[in-house]
Structure 1
Amino acid sequence: MAKATKKQALGRGLSALLKDPDNDIRSVADKNADKVVGNIVELDLDSIAVNPFQPRSNFNDEALQELASSIRELGVIQPITVRKTEFNKYQLVSGERRYRASKMVGLETIPAYIRIANDQESLEMALVENIQREDLDPIEIALSYQRLIEEIELTQEKLSDRVGKKRSTITNYLRLLRLDPIIQTGMRDGFITMGHGRALVNVEKRTDQLEIYEQIIEHGLSVRQTEELVRNYHDTGKVSGKTSPKRADKSLFIINNEIALSHFLETDVSLKTQDNEKGKMSITFKSREELNRIIKLITGE
């Protein structure tokens, strides 16, 4: 406990140093810069601005509430990273979820690592750190890779080294940006997976992409069934409906709700209806522990 108190006191002391206008630190060569840069400092939340280069655009409200509850109980365990822009002003590099959650619970300060960087360095740091640390959806990752290539002027080889991913992996993500925006949105919302997207990107015409996408949603096609559909498309030159999906007799409303429930409960959910009104719901579980987990999710206990 004494160590934690000492660490917090040190962070507050550095915070006071940063608020001294006579010793403003603007570069790593300035006096006391070595005491601040790379160290954890308690910064006022009001002194931090959101990074316009942040690749994440979707923030799950429920997950944010859970993080806020954790911060309320335990505090911010992992510091955010910021860059200094001017006197007592900072910009987020990474950690926007922690920043937002801290504001939600009414915190006034947050632990932060401080870096001094120009806009280009800030963009690169934000994109690389978020790709590696945050649970971005495939389209957000693809957009981040694209920005690193275009705005930082990295080749795919250099990007591969920078983010620690194979070049083929980066290429597969970038190819997803060839999909129609409606399909990209469907992937971001969890209606289809990256595997579906990788199959669909082999269809050049976006109108045909959308037609196949509609069949995936309507019939609940697996990735393998989608790949078969795309192969048939290339063989015949048109979209074929020659598949025997399990969900062929279900409405889009039921299929969408099956997908949503399966995503929420993290297990397979099947809905059977009569006359599109009353029906039955089947939830799959493989152990007593998994059943208890599902019950807690449903009851909220």
Structure 2
Amino acid sequence: MAKATKKQALGRGLSALLKDPANDIKSADDKNADKVVGNIVELELDTIEVNPFQPRTSFNEESLRELASSIRELGVIQPITVRKLGFNKYQLVSGERRYRASKLIGLDTIPAYIRIANDQESLEMALVENIQRQDLDPIEIALSYQRLIEEIQVTQEALSDRVGKNRSTIANYLRLLKLDPIIQTGMRDGFISMGHGRALINVEDLDQQLDIYEQILSKKLSVRETESLVRSIKGPETAPKSSTKSLPAYASAAKKELTDLLDSKVQLKVNGSGKGQLIVPFANKEDFLRILNQIKGEK
């Protein structure tokens, strides 16, 4: 407890230093800047404005109340990060949930790290720190990656180095932005997972995407079931043409009979030696049991 009190007292001392208009710190080269930059400072909440570059656009009210309750009991454990705009004026770089929760319970001050940066550096700091530290939903992460690429003008390779993620991971997030906006909203609201979204990306037609999305919600399909449903829909289009042409007559006829019998888009592959595979796709557990009963001759 004594350690925490000492830290808070130090923060208040630095805060007083920042309120000296005759020695206002405007850059890292100014007098006393080394005492402030990189240290924890107690800042008044009403001197801080929200960062317009903040990638998070929605905040769960229940989650905020839980965080506010924790802050009421334990204080702000992890300081927010701000950049100095002018005399006694700051802007959030990261930590908006802590900032909002602190205001929710009526706190006057909040511990903060102060950085001196231009707008572009602030944008990059906000996006990178939020990607790494905040529990953003997949669409918010994708939008953050997109903004970094477009506004900071970095390549996916350079972005990979900056955020410590594989380029393929970044590409997978960016592909989510090709989904229908309704599906993106559903992912942000937690109705479907990123895994569902990645499966739906393989369906180019947006109306078809929405049809599958409605099935995911109504039938509570898992990611694996969704992937199977997408494959069954795209099956005839994605099956190698050479396999269809090379099917022996007996296999070609059987494929049509099985498709009609099982009411499923059966796939058949036969190699030159006569060995092959029979693939019967199903959409979910109920569909699988239906096909199984049909094969067994049961109703």
- TM-score of the superposition, structure 1-length normalised? 0.79
Q: State whether structure 2 residue 135 is matched by structure 1 residue 135.
A: yes
Q: What per-residue deviation string (whole Å, max 9, x for no partner) do you get for residues 10-64 of structure 1?
A: 1111101111110111110111110000000000000000001111112111111
Question: Could you say what secondary structure the match of 1:43 adopts?
Answer: strand
Contact 1:220 1:247 in 2 (8 A): no
CA separation of 1:2/1:217 partners in 2, compared to 1, >3 Å: closer, same or farther? closer
Q: State whether structure 2 residue 284 is matched by structure 1 residue 245.
A: yes
Match of 2:190 in 1: 190
Contact 2:54 2:93 in 1 (8 A): yes
- Deviation, structure 1 residue 244: 5.4
Distance 2:190 2:70 in 1: 26
Match of 2:64 in 1: 64
Greater C-alpha radius of gyration = 2
Match of 1:42 in 2: 42
Question: Could you say what secondary structure the match of 1:168 adopts?
Answer: helix
| RMSD of aligned Cα (Å) | 1.8
Q: What per-residue deviation string (whole Å, max 9, x for no partner) do you get for residues 234-259 of structure 1?
A: 22459x898453589xxxxxxxxxxx
Q: What per-residue deviation string (whole Å, max 9, x for no partner) do you get for residues 70-118 of structure 1?
A: 1111111110000001110000000000000000111000000000001
Distance 1:207 1:43 in 2: 51
CA separation of 1:196/1:16 partners in 2, compared to 1, >3 Å: closer, same or farther? same
Distance 1:167 1:116 in 2: 30
Structure 1 segment 14-29 matched on structure 2, within 5 A: 14-29=14-29
- Deviation, structure 1 residue 232: 1.9
Distance 2:68 2:3 in 1: 25
Contact 1:219 1:246 in 2 (8 A): no
Structure 1 segment 209-228 matched on structure 2, within 5 A: 209-228=209-228
> Percent identity between the aligned chains?
79
Contact 1:220 1:245 in 2 (8 A): no
- TM-score of the superposition, structure 2-length normalised? 0.79
Structure 1 segment 234-273 matched on structure 2, within 5 A: 234-236=234-236, 243=282, 245=284
- Length, aligned pairs only: 247
Distance 2:4 2:94 in 1: 24
Runs (5+) with no aligned partner, structure 1: 249-301
Match of 1:85 in 2: 85
Query: What one-letter code is carried by the residue in structure 1 that aligns with 2:213?
Result: Y
CA separation of 1:26/1:128 partners in 2, compared to 1, >3 Å: closer, same or farther? same
Question: Could you say what secondary structure the match of 1:90 adopts?
Answer: strand
Deviating 4+ runs (over 6 angstroms): none
Contact 2:232 2:282 in 1 (8 A): no
Runs (5+) with no aligned partner, structure 2: 239-263, 266-280, 288-299
Distance 2:213 2:103 in 1: 39
